[in-house]
Chain A
């Protein structure tokens, strides 16, 4: 039996007022797999991601991450688990405005172990921001801020990277750069779960899970995923959802 990086079983999320954001969602993500979660606004994508990273709690259902059953995890358990295993990339970057780029990266180190400036600078270099470490977020472009955010997500060498609309606020050039970074991470064997509206980002992964009204409406391998599947096993059940995409 394959050990899943992420296993979601029958997860539902009902917000106060009775809004069903997720309704019995079950998905498995293999270690090293690149999964895109797509769907229209309000389909539950971001809620699912928030539940996967422990910032939100499911109303029902169970979640295993890296073999750990997170049922019963409190906020502090999740904080520790997140800093050890999960890197987060946000659409709005969420950089601390009064800290420089390198300090923003070091912040993740601070809560993980110990801030080391050299390592943080190396992480920035990796996202092609060498020499921009001393700049404040306000002095960086959106694409640069997103790359700082990615460097921060990677500084503690997480096994899983969860990204919420990582290219939502970026132009094409920066989108391509972020995509390149994700490819590199995938190549390193990181498990990637990317919530996106962007078919190009979605189709860059191995598998696309489509959500609609809080349910999984489609779970299919992309062309890239199908190629890998011939080597490593079937990731999804349906045909290539990117076949008709302009970006496919």
Chain B
């Protein structure tokens, strides 16, 4: 009988039901999107931020051999580091730093894979173009100024006390805002006998804990390489993600508050519309809690329907948003569904309880008076 009454009551007040349902669906959809984003997009956004460059630097560790001499990471060690990076879906690009002379002045020459360099330094403002071939280089703005070099010029770098020289054509001059502006970057690999310092820029998906985990793996593999997080970058990322979460959280709360008001207004109008019916139920012997149960059940029914519709809509929308923003899919989780159910049912039941409170305050005798 109760279910029958609830069904008929909801159908009869179709306008109010539709309004409540639409509001709850929107709230549940927003809750679904927010929770799905919070869980998934935090990671995806961090991954996305990786396209903006490195978040850690890898360098030879402080390992020492049996007699206490420092051990420099060899190519085998870097190979192991590359393997681990691949396993962790991290991007690791080696940089070999040599010192030569150019027009009699000492100059730092950095060798890196051209594509890898581009991935790790997307923020460079390159005038001209990046170096692509073995005989090409890009030069930092400060170095180019000191040497008076321009794009298209050919420079000759002397190495090993002028015993060896390399010629490069300058394809671009870049601005980076850091010490790299005093260096030149090439892709030709150094000769094995050449003295050099090797380091790597690493882009690790995730935040500081993921970098720490990568570091642990490197130590476990005995690679002799350590990873140092670029805290400035990580802190900035954390702050951005935190602010985005805060803003969306506040927006969600505002929407939930507004939807609560909307649903409460709808429920109250339904209670007022049905005040004689509710008075009649009490006249027929319904206890107050039975009237409350009827209204709460109606609220819960709309709440559950709103949760299911909202979850479906929210899941589709979050997929679309995440696909547009990050080019990936949202991983299904239980939490967004629970959030949709909790938000929708809580708002609906809360509104219904306000309506029930109002219903119980009404003068039953007056409502049933025969005039």
Q: Which residues does A use to contact B, with CB under 8 Å? A: 46-47, 50, 53, 55-56, 75-76, 79-80, 82-84, 88, 90-92, 94, 96-99, 103, 106-108, 110-112, 115, 152, 164-165, 168, 195
Q: Which residue of A lies closest to B11 (CB)?
A: A98
Residue from B2, B277, B283, B290 having most chain A Cβ neighbours under 10 A: B283
Q: Which residue of A lies closest to B10 (CB)?
A: A98
Rounded to whole Å, the gap between the CB of A138 and the closest CB of chain B is 11
B8 surroundings in chain A (CB, below 8 A)? 98-99
Contact A112 B364 (CB under 8 A): no
Residue B282 CB within 8 A of the other chain: yes
B363 surroundings in chain A (CB, below 8 A)? 56
Rounded to whole Å, the gap between the CB of B15 and the closest CB of chain A is 15
Would you mind naming 11 contact pairs between A and B with Cβ atoms under 8 Å apart? A55-B365, A76-B287, A79-B286, A83-B284, A90-B370, A94-B280, A94-B283, A98-B11, A99-B5, A108-B285, A164-B370
Residue B4 CB within 8 A of the other chain: yes
Contact B365 A56 (CB under 8 A): yes
Rounded to whole Å, the gap between the CB of B250 and the closest CB of chain A is 42
A94 surroundings in chain B (CB, below 8 A)? 276, 280, 283, 368
Residue B216 CB within 8 A of the other chain: no
- Against A, the Cβ 8 Å flags (1 = close, 0 = not) of B268-309 are 000000001101111111111110000000000000000000
Rounded to whole Å, the gap between the CB of A136 and the closest CB of chain B is 10
Q: Determine the interface band of chain B, counting residues with CB < 8 A from chain A.
A: 20 to 34
Please judge, given known A-B contacts A90-B370, A96-B280, whether A55 and B285 are in contact too, CB under 8 Å.
no
B276 surroundings in chain A (CB, below 8 A)? 94
- Complex CA gap A47/B366 in Å reads 9
Rounded to whole Å, the gap between the CB of B264 and the closest CB of chain A is 23
B191 surroundings in chain A (CB, below 8 A)? none
Please judge, given known A-B contacts A79-B285, A82-B285, whether A103 and B290 are in contact too, CB under 8 Å.
no
Residue B12 CB within 8 A of the other chain: yes
Contact B283 A168 (CB under 8 A): no
- Complex CA gap A106/B1 in Å reads 8
- Complex CA gap A79/B291 in Å reads 11
Q: Which residue of B lies closest to A47 (CB)?
A: B365
A46 surroundings in chain B (CB, below 8 A)? 369-371
Residue B145 CB within 8 A of the other chain: no
B9 surroundings in chain A (CB, below 8 A)? 98
Contact A55 B284 (CB under 8 A): no
Q: Which residue of A lies closest to B2 (CB)?
A: A110
Contact B284 A108 (CB under 8 A): yes
- Complex CA gap A94/B285 in Å reads 14
- Complex CA gap A108/B290 in Å reads 13
Q: Which residues does B use to contact A, with CB under 8 Å? A: 1-2, 4-5, 8-9, 11-12, 276-277, 279-290, 363-365, 368-371
Nearest 3 interchain pairs by C-beta: A83-B285, A91-B370, A50-B365
State which of B287, B368, B371 has its C-beta within 8 Å of the C-beta of A80: B287
Contact A111 B370 (CB under 8 A): no
- Complex CA gap A82/B280 in Å reads 12
A80 surroundings in chain B (CB, below 8 A)? 285, 287
Contact A111 B286 (CB under 8 A): yes
Rounded to whole Å, the gap between the CB of A79 and the closest CB of chain B is 5
Q: Which residue of B lies closest to A106 (CB)?
A: B1
Rounded to whole Å, the gap between the CB of B362 and the closest CB of chain A is 11
B4 surroundings in chain A (CB, below 8 A)? 99, 103
Rounded to whole Å, the gap between the CB of B370 and the closest CB of chain A is 3
Given contacts A53-B283, A112-B285, 16 further A-B contacts (CB under 8 A): A56-B363, A75-B288, A79-B286, A79-B287, A88-B283, A92-B370, A94-B368, A96-B277, A98-B9, A99-B4, A107-B1, A107-B281, A110-B2, A111-B286, A164-B368, A165-B370
- Complex CA gap A98/B281 in Å reads 14
- Complex CA gap A82/B5 in Å reads 22
A88 surroundings in chain B (CB, below 8 A)? 283-284
Contact B277 A82 (CB under 8 A): no
- Complex CA gap A47/B363 in Å reads 12
Q: Which residue of B lies closest to A76 (CB)?
A: B287
- Complex CA gap A75/B288 in Å reads 7
State which of B2, B12, B286, B287 has its C-beta within 8 Å of the C-beta of A98: B12
State which of A91, A98, A107, A164 has its C-beta within 8 Å of the C-beta of B284: A107
- Complex CA gap A123/B255 in Å reads 52
Residue from A97, A107, A164 having most chain B Cβ neighbours under 10 A: A107
Please judge, given known A-B contacts A79-B286, A94-B276, A99-B8, whether A110 and B1 are in contact too, CB under 8 Å.
yes
Rounded to whole Å, the gap between the CB of A1 and the closest CB of chain B is 30
Rounded to whole Å, the gap between the CB of A225 and the closest CB of chain B is 25
Contact B282 A75 (CB under 8 A): yes
- Complex CA gap A229/B324 in Å reads 91
A79 surroundings in chain B (CB, below 8 A)? 282, 285-288
Contact B285 A115 (CB under 8 A): no
Residue from A110, A112, A115 having most chain B Cβ neighbours under 10 A: A110
Contact A168 B290 (CB under 8 A): no
